[in-house]
């Protein structure tokens, strides 16, 4: 009996020594993290590992906060804010696109408070055949100093595959998880306010990335004429994908606007640069007068900047589409035309600062265009 007890104790000691040896090799002095995993099809995953409390005598695991809770417990100054907006003027028919950082503290604070209110709502757990569509466009994007992104988007809760429509929900996308919040009608007051703050906050001259002028400008029908004064700027729509499209408008130094359509006249070969050919077509075929006059104060600023711009300046080029065509803006200085910007199949954004200023003042001059019959609005 004694011999049996001694053998059992010895075996236990050997196993204990083996365990100590393994610990010394691999895990001595290291914390062992607790990992939670997102299951396929689930809506939320707490991806932060549990953390040990170094102040305790022994390692004590404390619950990790979710990424949504991390936002709620943070300060609005811990993030930079980014958004996009589209602004359409019914009177001038000008569409402007804005994208970039929101820097005004008033907007940032308001956005952050509304975002926290939304994140405090109940998280939606998808069940059965439920799914959520959407999430491509963010209402607001937050970035940390380390570059991590948090995006709040809108989505639609779909009860069954192939069904259309459903309740609106929020999609909160984090670096490691996706949260669905709602549906709850009370959320959308916060959403509407947040969206309004994001739009108004990003609409600044600094964030203006694109201006789309109306495709058809109201004009008086009549015979072709030559501009009363030297041409200052030309806008041109060109596309050769389905036939020849070559039309646009120009404004002279006095602010008078004219339109033209050289889709047929531009056919055939020509010598010289594209800009030289454009001016030649205007001289040979004339333009159509309109009742529209640009804001001459802003136009003078645009002309002054164009004179200081480098006619051979470089562009940042970004290829985006195919067979869409180009919408281009040209300045005319001392009888010679040069491109300021172009959008379409290939977006060309000037690197020259004076060219950028000329574009800004040109857009303001166009936005302020008036008719003799009504000095407060563009002709309709």
From the list 250, 266, 269, 270, the residue with the least C-alpha distance to 258 is 250
Q: Quote the tokens at residue 229.
A: 């004064």
* DSSP string computed for 283-308: HHH-BEEEEEE--HHHHHHHHHHHHH
Spell 251-285 as b/e; 16+ CB within 10 A means b. Answer: bbbebbbbbbebeeebeeeeeeeebeebbebbeee
> Whole-angstrom distance between the N-terminal and C-terminal Cα of the chain?
111
Q: Report d(CA 138, CA 134) in Å as an integer.
A: 10
User: How high is the pLDDT of residue 177?
Assistant: 87
**Alpha-carbon gap, residue 21 to 28, rounded angstroms:** 10
Give the pLDDT score at 321.
62
pTM over cut 0.85: no
Which two tokens mark 25?
């090799």
Residues 259/266, Cβ–Cβ less than 8 Å: no
Question: Is-contact 343 57, C-beta < 8 A?
Answer: no
Nearest Cα residue to 290 out of 375, 220, 226: 220
Q: Which two tokens stand for residue 298?
A: 């802003």
Burial code of 73-101, b = ≥16 C-beta within 10 A, e = fewer? eeebeebebbbbbeeeeeebbbebebebb
pLDDT given for residue 372 in this prediction: 62
Q: Residue 83: name the closest of 240, 238, 178, 204 by CA.
A: 204
Paired residues of 303 in beta bridges:
none
Q: Would you write out the chain's pLDDT as a tens digit for each of its 380 residues?
A: 444 444 444 444 444 444 433 433 333 333 322 222 233 333 443 434 333 344 444 444 455 678 888 899 999 999 999 999 888 776 666 778 899 999 999 999 999 999 998 888 778 888 888 888 877 788 899 999 999 999 998 888 888 887 766 777 888 999 988 888 876 544 555 666 788 899 999 999 889 887 776 654 444 456 789 998 999 999 998 876 555 778 899 999 999 999 998 887 766 556 678 899 899 999 988 999 988 899 999 999 999 999 999 999 999 988 776 656 788 999 999 999 999 999 887 889 999 999 999 999 999 999 888 866 544 444 44
Cα-flanking dihedrals φ and ψ of residue 353, to 5°? -65, -40
Find where tokens 């102040």 sit. Answer: 55
Q: Which residues contact 367 (CB under 8 A, 6 or more apart)?
A: 89, 92, 94, 295
């Amino acid at each position: 009996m004694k011999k049996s007890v001694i053998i059992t104790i010895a075996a236990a000691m050997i196993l204990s020594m083996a365990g100590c040896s393994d610990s010394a090799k691999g895990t001595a002095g290291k914390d062992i993290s607790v990992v939670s995993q997102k299951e396929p099809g689930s809506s939320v995953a707490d991806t932060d590992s549990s953390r040990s409390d170094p102040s305790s005598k022994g390692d004590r695991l404390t619950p990790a906060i979710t990424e949504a809770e991390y936002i709620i417990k943070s300060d609005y100054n811990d993030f930079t804010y980014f958004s996009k907006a589209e602004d359409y003027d019914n009177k001038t028919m000008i569409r402007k696109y804005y994208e970039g950082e929101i820097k005004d503290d008033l907007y940032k604070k308001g956005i952050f408070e509304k975002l926290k209110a939304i994140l405090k709502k109940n998280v939606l757990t998808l069940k059965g055949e439920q799914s959520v569509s959407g999430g491509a466009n963010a209402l607001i994007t937050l970035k940390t100093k380390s570059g991590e992104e948090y995006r709040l988007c809108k989505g639609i809760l779909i009860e069954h595959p192939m069904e259309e429509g459903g309740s609106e929900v929020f999609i909160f996308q984090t670096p490691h998880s996706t949260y669905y919040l709602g549906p709850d009608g009370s959320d959308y007051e916060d959403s509407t306010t947040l969206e309004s703050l994001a739009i108004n906050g990003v609409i600044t001259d600094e964030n203006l990335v694109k201006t789309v002028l109306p495709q058809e400008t109201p004009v008086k029908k009549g015979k072709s004429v030559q501009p009363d004064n030297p041409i200052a700027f030309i806008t041109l729509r060109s596309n050769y994908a389905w036939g020849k499209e070559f039309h646009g408008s120009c404004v002279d130094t006095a602010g008078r606007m004219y339109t033209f359509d050289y889709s047929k006249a531009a056919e055939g070969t020509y010598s010289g640069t594209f800009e030289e050919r454009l001016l030649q077509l205007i001289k040979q075929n004339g333009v159509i007068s309109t009742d529209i006059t640009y804001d001459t104060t802003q136009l003078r600023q645009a002309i002054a900047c164009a004179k200081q711009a480098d006619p051979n300046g470089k562009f940042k080029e970004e290829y985006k589409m195919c067979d869409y065509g180009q919408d281009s803006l040209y300045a005319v200085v001392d009888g010679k035309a040069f491109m300021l910007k172009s959008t379409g199949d290939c977006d060309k954004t000037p690197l020259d600062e004076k060219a950028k200023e000329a574009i800004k003042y040109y857009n303001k001059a166009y936005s302020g265009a008036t008719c003799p019959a009504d000095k407060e609005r563009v002709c309709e």
